[in-house]
C-alpha cells in the first residue's frame, strides 16, 4: 500500500538532489475506549529507493543525510499520501470481525 514519491533536498554545498522513496500510510493509535477497540499506531515507514542530482546523475547519500531526509519526510508528509486513516481502520475492523 506504500506509494513511490520524489522530493527535492538541498545539501550543505547547495547541490539539489532528488530523492525517490516509498512511504506507507500512517494509522494513528487509538488508546481510549474499550480494550478490544484499541490498537497501536502502524505504518509511516519510509524507504529511500534512489538519490539523483538535479542533472539526473546517480548520487550517494551519507547516513546523516538519510536520517535528516527521512525525518523531514515523516514530519512533513505529502497531503495525498493515501486513504484516510479512519477508512483504513474501519476496513481493518470489518476484516477482523
Query: What are the pLDDT tens digits along the chain (97 aa)?
Result: 677 889 999 998 989 999 999 988 888 899 999 999 899 988 888 999 999 999 999 999 999 999 999 999 888 877 554 555 666 677 777 777 6
Q: Rounded to 5 degrees, what are φ and ψ at 10?
A: -120, 130
Grid coordinates representing 45 are: 515507514
Q: Which of 9, 18, 21, 5 is nearest to 59 (CA)?
A: 18
pLDDT at 92: 75
pLDDT at 94: 76
Grid coordinates representing 63 are: 547516513
pLDDT at 80: 54
Beta bridge partners of 21: 5, 48
Total structural domains within the chain? 1
Q: What 8-state DSSP symbol labels residue 35?
A: G
Q: Residue 10 sits in a domain of what CATH number?
A: 3.30.300.260
pLDDT at 4: 87
Which range of residues forms the domain containing residue 82? 3-96
Amino acid at each position: 500500500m506504500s506509494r513511490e514519491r520524489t522530493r527535492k533536498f538541498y545539501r550543505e554545498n547547495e547541490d539539489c538532489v532528488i530523492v525517490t522513496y516509498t512511504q506507507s500510510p500512517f494509522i494513528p493509535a487509538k488508546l481510549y475506549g474499550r480494550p478490544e477497540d484499541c490498537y497501536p499506531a502502524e505504518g509511516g515507514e519510509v524507504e529511500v529507493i534512489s538519490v539523483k542530482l538535479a542533472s539526473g546523475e546517480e548520487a550517494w547519500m551519507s547516513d546523516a543525510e538519510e536520517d535528516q531526509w527521512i525525518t523531514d519526510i515523516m514530519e512533513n508528509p505529502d497531503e495525498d499520501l493515501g486513504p484516510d486513516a479512519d477508512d483504513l481502520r474501519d476496513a481493518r475492523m470489518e476484516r477482523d470481525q
